[in-house]
Amino acid sequence: MLHVSGTHLVTDDHEPVRLRGVGLGGWLNMENFITGYPANESSMRYAVRAVIGDERAELFFDRLLASFFTEQDAALLAGLGMNCVRIPVNYHHWESDDRPLEIDPRGFRHLDRVIGLLGAHGIYSVIDLHALPGAQNQHWHSDNPTHVAAFWQHRHFQDRAVRLWEVIADHYRDHPWVAGYNPVNEPADLTGKVIGPFYDRLVKAVRAADPGHVLFLDGNTYSTDFSIFREVYENTVFVMHDYALAGFAHGGPYPGYTRGEWCDKNQLEAQFATRSRFQRETGTPLWVGEFGPVYTGDPAMDRQRYQVLRDQLAIYDAQDVGWSLWTYKDVGLQGLVHAAGPYVDRFGAFIAKKRRLGADRWGSTMEESADVLAPLHALVETEFPDWRPYPWGARYQADDLIRHILIAQALLPEYAELFRGLGDEELLALADSFLLDRCVHRHPLLDLLADNLTR
């Protein structure tokens, strides 16, 4: 198994290992922009069950989990030269909100399968709890239907997360291809006062269940603020996320200005130096848990996005930094490969409508329906000029509340209705659209990564 030795991860034979790979977003933690639904995962599942029933919904979702990642996917990643996959998971696979603290061991079924497939190809897994009870951050990717991170407000939610991690750590304590545990993805404790003591408690509990595996701990405010750590825990990687401003959907030309800020390789390097200051000061390994641009479909613009990625990888290579690119597979925004066939045929027009409305936070340019929303933004700026809501300010907060919650939730019935009348074989065909041999490969991205990983 891997462990931390100074600024490196090493094997039991003291061979340094630089983990480089991809995040398996949208699988055991589904996300709206990845598989094409609106709002958050639990709300979507509820809407689909209401249309086709519990049994047939289970048929579809279980087949989707089986098809989304198979031996072929593991072979593709190994062939690129990757040695790590960060696997986001949702607590709902192990625990139901109406039966808290009762752990369902069936939650391990697909996770065990994929960790085994990856290990057979020499690829480590980092298990990332992406959605915690009560939601540890304010956004959809923690399966949050609101804008409130209630996890930090209620000890009950924290108790449940600690208990789940005790079970996960005990289950994988002897697994050599599990690189370690990423217990809280992108935490966002508004006060900054709860997260430090919680991490102290969580680390102690996980170490009691599994003293050997590495802990990968995100900083507060979406893994950007490490001032909350009260000590440097042993055998721990402090994980930063490093999204580039020019790589967002609203990013401008590269090099060039985005939202009034000049973006080029020097700016990327300065940003990375700032984000990695804590790791350098504490002499701990440098590992970027998430980064990567989104793509527009415009060849000229996408060439600039590839250059953003190329420059980030060059920075990481020069400083011996490990990384996990976001994300592996989706419906076309960011993945190395993306679904095609019956699923895209069925939901393509709906996905286009979401894009037109800017319903997904990830992928929105913040300019969709500008004629409707501009007066609201002007009102907020005029009437509440000093309002600075956590985490990203008034403009983002207004967009989150109107676009990414209200509009997104209003779209849920329309998405669910697209399942109505489908037979079992049609449901299975939708899920199988995510099989690798039925996906479109984003070759410029695949070629870029293969070149970086094999030279």
Q: Is residue 403 part of a domain?
A: yes
Instruction: Determine the pLDDT at residue 29.
Output: 98
Instruction: Determine the pLDDT at residue 207.
Output: 98
> Active site includes 186?
yes
CATH of the domain at 199: 3.20.20.80
Q: State how far the Cα of 135 lies from the Cα of 152, in Å rounded to an integer.
A: 8
**CA 323 vs CA 18, 174, 209, 286, 292: distances in Å:** 8, 24, 27, 9, 10
Q: Which residues of 64-78 are buried (b: 16+ CB within 10 A; e: fewer)?
A: bbbbbbbeebbebbb
pLDDT digits (tens, 9 = 90+) for 113-165: 999 999 999 999 999 999 999 999 999 999 999 999 999 999 999 999 999 99
Domain coverage including residue 334: 17-454
Instruction: Determine the pLDDT at residue 230.
Output: 85
Q: Is residue 11 part of a domain?
A: no
Q: Is residue 379 part of a domain?
A: yes
Q: Is residue 184 part of a domain?
A: yes
> Active site includes 58?
no
Q: Is residue 8 part of a domain?
A: no
Instruction: Determine the pLDDT at residue 455.
Output: 81
Instruction: Determine the pLDDT at residue 1.
Output: 92
Q: Is residue 6 part of a domain?
A: no
In the numeric block, which tokens belong to residue 387? 């309002």
Q: Which of 290, 368, 414, 426 is catalytic?
A: 290
Q: State how far the Cα of 452 lies from the Cα of 390, in Å rounded to an integer.
A: 37
CA atoms within 13 A on the CB side of 320: 10
Whether the model pTM is above 0.85:
yes
Instruction: Determine the pLDDT at residue 104.
Output: 97
Domains identified in the chain, total number:
1
pLDDT under 70 in the chain at which residues?
A: none
Q: Which of 186, 234, 281, 381 is catalytic?
A: 186
Provide the CA 160 distance to its chain's centre, in angstroms.
Answer: 21
Q: Is residue 5 part of a domain?
A: no
Q: Is residue 48 part of a domain?
A: yes
